[in-house]
Structure 1
Amino acid sequence: MINKKLWWGVLTLCIGLGVYLSIVDYKSPLIKIKIQQQDKLWVVEKPYYEQWAVEHGIDIGDIILEIDNMDISGYRLISYDEFIRAANELTIKKQDGTILQVEVLHRDLLMQFYLHVMLPILYFVLSLGATLYLYYKRQQNIESIKWLILFILTVALTYLSSNASSKADLIGRAIISGGILLSPLMLLQFLKSYYRYLHIKWPFIHQIEKLYILPVIGAVLGCIEILYPYTKDVIVIFLLATSFILFLFPLWVLLYSYYKKRTVQLRLLILSVILPFLPFLFLFVLPEVFWQQAILEAEYSILFVLLIPFCFMFLRVSERLFDVHYYITRTSYYLLVTSALTIWLCVGLFFLMKNMPNGGVAVFLFISILLFFYVKEKVDAKYRDVLFTPKGNTIRQLSRAIDQMSAAYRVDELLSILKQEAANHLEIKNIEVVNYDGKEQEMLDEYVMTDEQIQQLQAGEIVRLSDVYVALIHQEAHMKRLLLIEHRGKIRLKDEELLWLKLLLKYAESAIESLKKIEELLRELRSLKQTAEQEPVWLKKLVWLKIEQEKYYVAQELHDTVLQNLTHLTREMSLLVEDDAVPIRGLYQQMQNNVQDLRTYCETLKPPVLDKLGLTAALSQLVQQVNSKAKFKLYTTFERVYLKHEQLPLVIYRIIQELLNNALKHSDATKVTLSLQELDEGFELIYEDDGIGCTLEQMLQTDSLGIRGIRERVEAFNGHCHIETNINEGVFIHIIIEGSEEDD
Structure 2
Amino acid sequence: MKWFQKSHIIFSVMVFLMIGLISYFGLLIIQYPLIGIDVEQRNGNWVVEQVYDKGWAARNPIEKGDIVQLINGIDPDEHKTVARFHYLEKAKSITIIDQQAYTNTYAVSYTSEDIQLIIYLLLPILFCLSTFLLGLYFYYGKKEEKNSVMILIAFLFSLGLCYLSAPASARADLIGRITVTMTFPGSLILLIHFLKNYFQQYHLYFVKGSSIKRLYIAYFLLLIALSSNFLFGKIHSFMRMVELGFFIFLVCFLIFLLTRLNIRHKNSEGKVIIQILSTAFVIGFSPFVILYAVPHIFWGRALLSAEITSMFLLIIPLAFVYLQIAEKLFDIEFLLGRLQYYALLSFSFTIFSTIILALTFKIRFISSSAFLFSLFVFIGSILFLYIKEFIDYRMRHHLFSRKNHVESNLYTFFQKTKHETKVERFIEKLMIEVKEVLRVREVHYLKVEESKDLDTWTVQNKRTFSSTSFINEIEQVDWKNCHPGLLIEVRTGFCVVIGENHQMKEVIFCGLKKHKTTLNIQEKIWLKNIAYFSSILLENFQLIEGLFKEIEHYHKKKQVENDSYPSWLSRLLFSLSEKERMNLSIDLHDTILQDQFQLLRDIESIEIKITDPILKNELYLIKETVLDNIHLIRETCNELRPPFLNELGLIQSIQNLIKRVKLSSNFLLHAELDSTIQKIKPEYELTIYRVFQELLNNAMKHSKASVVKISLKNKDEGLILTYLDNGIGICMSELNDSFKTMGIYGIKERVRCMGGEIEIESAPNNGFKVQIIFKQGVN
Greater radius of gyration (CA):
2
Class of the TM-score when normalised by the shorter of the 2 chains:
0.3 to 0.5
- TM-score, L = length of structure 2: 0.44
- TM-score, L = length of structure 1: 0.46
